[in-house]
Amino acid sequence: MNQPESQILALFYCRQVPGGGEAERRTLEKQYGEVLRLFPIPCSGRLEPVHLLRALEEFADAVYIITCPEGACRYFEGNRRARKRVARTRGILAAIGLEPERVGLITGSLETPRTLADWVPEIFRQIQHLAPSPVLATAMR
């Protein structure tokens, strides 16, 4: 598999996502190396815009969240909260002159479940058009 050149992706994901276990996480981290930082969370609804912005400020070129499927959240509305918070974060990025596409959300599907390993290359394809983050331009990579 070709590794992305220099994009660093912070990927927060609901632990209920298929293939989101510890062994799969370690395999992905080994496969992608330093360009992928994985953060399993008990519920995507617990993330706040500050968490996403902090990842962009400190190390990531893009931040994505993978939620459990609509209607399958064990905390009832976590994925809906996550969607609202991603929209708010994208608005903040647009207001300060950064591309809103640096933050994204993927909602799983009950009908066609996909594993974490299935989503990662797709997310890298979605962010490949982004230049390295200007926020990190002065920091050492």
Phi then psi for 66, rounded to 5 degrees? Answer: -110, 120
Domain count, the chain: 1
Q: Is 136 within a domain?
A: no
pLDDT tens column, 69-118: 777 777 778 888 899 999 999 999 999 999 999 999 999 877 888 889 99
Write the burial class of residue 36 (CB in 10 Å: 0-12 exposed, 13-18 middle, 19+ buried).
Answer: buried
Q: Which CATH number goes with the domain that contains 24?
A: 3.40.50
| In the predicted structure, residue 2 carries a pLDDT above the cut 70 | no
pLDDT tens column, 35-71: 999 999 998 888 999 999 999 999 999 999 999 877 7
| Model confidence, pTM | 0.89
Q: Is 134 within a domain?
A: no
| DSSP secondary structure, 60-82, as one string | -SEEEEEEPPTT--TTSSHHHHH
Give me the domain span that covers residue 114: 9-127
| pLDDT of res. 39 | 95
Q: Is 1 within a domain?
A: no
